[in-house]
Every structure is written in C-alpha cells, then in structure tokens.
Homo-oligomer: A and B are copies of this chain.
C-alpha cells in the first residue's frame, strides 16, 4: 500500500481502452467513504465521457491534450446546492452561501478527489490533476451547467496508462515537515533544501531552455507569474460571488 503511494506518477497519455462504468462506480463508492464535514457530503463529481463535451471543456483547460484524450474527465465540485435544497424542503434555513461553507465543501471535495485517485491507481488506472480548474471555473460552470452554490475545484483525467514516466523529484522531508511548531527558514536552510533540485541536469536544462538565470525565475516569470495569478484571483473571486459563496457581508 505504501509502495503504491510511493510509486505515484502523473499519467498524461492513455490507451483507447474505456473504463467500465461499473469499475468507475466502485471507485466513486470508495471516494464517497472519505471523511467529510458533518457527513453532509457537500460535493459533486461530474463524470464526462462524451467527445463533444470534452472538446467543449478543453479550452478551459488551455487545451491540454489529456482532456480530449482521456476516456473519462472528472470535475470535482464544491456543492452546497443539493444540501441547501434538502434544507429548504425540510423547513430549515440553509446558511451555506458564505466563504466558510465554501472552504468546508472545497476541503471535502479535495479529500474525496484524492481518495478517488488512489483507488484508481490501485486498480491500474492513471490519473492527472488539472490545476486549470480554478483559473477557468466560469467556463467550466457554463459547460457543465453547474447551478448556484456549485463551484468546480479540481479536474482529474483518468484512463489506462500509455506511458510510464520517470518519477518527479521531491524536496527533502525537512522542507515540508515541521516538528512541534513552524521553524522558519534561514537563507542557508533555503540553499540546502533546494541544492539537489538546482544541481540536477534536468532542471539546468529546463532553465537554459527557458532562457532564464535561475530555476525560480522559470516559475515566477513563465509558469506561475504574478500577473497571471492576480488576473485569475480576481476571476475566481468573481465566480465565488456569482455562485453565492461570497455574500455582501463577506466583501467587507
């Protein structure tokens, strides 16, 4: 089991083999067993296999080929719509149109998504997370017809692997784990933690190909730039308002 987790790789190329709907349902059942806030199960999984719909979703994911190539595209959504409808039908006032409720449902959505991925990998499927979901949530909402109080949080493409890529590197454990309280990093700590990554031939080539001086600049200038992050921040906050998760009182 730990071995399975330690062997994780993101799979971006899939064979043409479809996923048996009953197999997929088993994986959804496992995902739904995940811990969740108050057992409200305030999330939804939209499972898209239709070619035309996948093509409509693709631009929201910057046309990354996995979306159209994977047999199944799963959009995991924070969802207080179902629960709120139930409350309204039961003489109860659903107070979930606010940011704290968004956080609770987003947390539950992501925990279920990761259980799904581990379940999928345990039976030989490959998965890829798409971080583009929060960038272009508005377009995904339109394509998948998501109602108020439903917001897509992450997307997973799933299929049988047609590649076995090298594992990506990870920082030393002491970059991530702090004992007792947080121990902030000195400049020397930072140099030590990133030394292995920065000295690897793979990343040296990556820096050269991108015409940058340092690996960090590839992130800040190209991959995750301030300008883009700020643009997509405003866009996603607008979506949260439109979908009902940021009420007037939250806007301060």
Interface residues of chain A, those whose CB is within 8 Å of chain B, are 1-2, 4-6, 8, 10, 25-30, 32-35, 37-41, 43-50, 53, 77, 81-83, 85-87, 89-96, 98-101, 103-104, 106-107, 110-111, 113-115, 117-119, 122-123, 127-129, 131, 134-135, 143-147, 150, 153-154, 167-171, 173, 175-182, 184-185, 187, 190-191, 193-194, 213-217, 219-221, 223-227, 229-230, 232-234, 236-237, 247, 249-252
Give the complex CA separation of A142 and B221 in angstroms: 33
Note all chain B residues with C-beta closer than 8 A to A83.
219
Among B10, B114, B145, B236, point to the contact of A110 (Cβ < 8 A): B114
Q: Which of B2, B43, B232 contacts A122 (CB 8 A)?
A: B2
Select one of B47, B92, B106 contacting A216, CB under 8 A: B92
Copies of this polypeptide in the complex:
2
The answer to whether A95 and B214 touch (CB under 8 A), given A1-B1, A32-B176, A113-B111, is no
CB of B233 within 8 A of CB of A131, answer no
Q: Is the CB of A118 within 8 A of B87?
A: no
Kindly provide the distance from the CB of A230 to the nearest chain B CB, expressed in whole angstroms: 5
CB < 8 Å neighbour of A251 from B38, B168, B252? B252
CB-CB under 8 A from A5, the residues of chain B are 30, 33, 115, 118-119
